[in-house]
Structures are given as structure tokens and as C-alpha cells.
Amino acid sequence: MIYETDLVGEAPQATTPHHQQESLMALADRLTAQHPSSTRSSDEPQRVAIVTGAERGIGAGLVAAFRDLGYSVVGTSLSMPASDDSDFLGVTGDITQAETAQRVVERARDVFGRIDSLINNAGIYIGKAFTDYTLDDYAAITAVNLTGFFHITQRVIQQMVAQGSGHVVSISTSLVDHADSTRPSALASLTKGGLVAVTRSLAIEYASRGVRVNAVSLGVIKTPLVEPSSYASNAVVHPLGRMGEIADVVDGILYLERDWRRSRSRGRTRPRRAGRLAGHPIPLGRRNADPRGVPAPADSRDRNRCRVVRQPI
């Protein structure tokens, strides 16, 4: 059983070598140079983001990036470290349990007053031949990737509808659309493919009520759970000759976040794959989109359509 962190989150706890861990402060320092802090007017409410699977890896990078943008952040995971940051709230709990989702949403609302963004980062990947999966494997991956998504997203969207605005981003995997015989991933495709499908559905369902819903599709990302001994073999499958970095994922999500503030991104799946799918056909949700996969400016006729853009990044 292999747990990889292109679907990082509430995987069973594994021993992480000390040299692989990157502190939240170090991530913040590194990401600040790429994403200068945003400014907001004095009459604009403090924005609030919830990040699941926030303890380490991509989740910790997202916490640092959203704090750098001036957001208050609620992070949740099986184990959350203490913090003296008054604008960061850590909630320890199992994301597969409805009680945890309810507690996260209530704490965010009670402490910060609103919820503007939800990043569904928690997830697990179990790679093995389809006929080798056990019922325990099935229960574990569906509990985190689907049940966890359902519990917290349902509650957060209810809050966003009451506010009149909000943004949900879910983490998927490029294996959904481009299976790889060297990386058996039927259950990852089943569950994360479900997130891509529900992203399209929710984007349409809540478009008229101010809630935007998007997804980010990842390749292999260099996170604490990926052994350094596998870096070389994982790098060769990407035309750029390297694995994806946490900063690549953060950049993609912040792109959608900023685009959402301009009310343009909706129902989009944005890949972050270090060029792994370069040369493949790029299906576009809009006929007049740029051939590189960059959407043309939204117009009044197209603004409420569900768009899925595959970019050869």
C-alpha cells in the first residue's frame, strides 16, 4: 500500500524523515516572493479560508500562502500543531467524520465570522492492481476522498450561499483523465474522478448564487511523504524533467482564487503536472479559447457556463 501526496491529506500517519519536513515559516518565506501580499480596502471584510489536510505538505503550503495574502485561515487535519498566529485556527479531527466538518465550520464562523474559500486538499492515494484492493482499502479511500469532501463542502456551501459568495477548490489527480499502467490507480480515479464530476455539477448549481467551484488536477508532487529515492524515477515521466513542487500547486490554486475575485473561473479543472501531458489534445470548454488552453475573457453569454480547461503545464 502506497500513500502519495499528489493527493496529500488525511492518510494514515507515516514516519516522515526530519530532513524532508519544511516548516510553515520556511514555506511562507519562499512563497512570499512569488505571491506578494494583497491589499484590501478598509470596508472590505477579512477573507477567511478553510484548508483540509493542513498539517504538512501541500496543505501547509496553502496555509502559508493564504495567510500571506491576508486571509484568516482555519486548518484541519488529524494532528494540527499549535500556533500563536491570531489569524490562524487549527482544528484537529478526522475529516471523514461529520462531527469534524461541523466543528470546523462552526469554529470558522464563530471566530472569524464568515467563510470565503474552501480548499479540499485532504485525500489519500492507494496504488495497487485493481484485483488486489481490499474492502479496507476501498473504505479508507472513499471515506477521505469522497465522504470527507461531502461533509465539509455541504456545510461550507450552505454558509457561502447565506453570504452570497464563496469559492471551493478541490484537489484531483491527472490519472483521472490519463491512466498510467505503471501506476495502478483505479480507486484514485474512482474517487478523484468523482470530485471532478461534482465540481462541474456544483459549479452550475450554485453559479447564480455567487458560489464558484473549481478543481486542480495534480501530477506527482514533491511532498514529505514522497521518498527522495523516487525523485529521479518520477521526474523522468515529466517533460520538464522534474517533479511538481508544492509552490506549483499553490500557484495554481491562488490563480483560481484571484480569478474568482474577478468572477470568471467556474467549473474549471486546472492541471499542475510539470508538462507531463504536453502534446496531448486539449479539450476546451469554449470554442473561442486560446489554443494553449488559456480561456478567452468571459462575456455575458458565457459567464455562467461550466468550463473545464486542460493546460499542458
For residues 240 and 288, the model is more confident at: 240
Higher pLDDT, 230 or 193: 193
Q: Which CATH architecture has domain 5-9+48-272?
A: 3-Layer(aba) Sandwich (3.40)
pLDDT (0 to 100) of residue 311: 34
pTM of the model: 0.73
pLDDT in tens, 122-135: 999 898 999 999 99
Q: What is the pLDDT of residue 161?
A: 98
The pLDDT score that the predictor gives to residue 262 is 60
Q: 39-48, 85-94, 102-111: lowest mean pLDDT where?
A: 39-48
Count of residues in the chain: 313
Calpha distance 98→104 (Å, rounded): 10
Q: Model confidence at 30, in pLDDT bands (50, 70, 90)? A: low
Answer whether residue 113 shows pLDDT above 80. yes
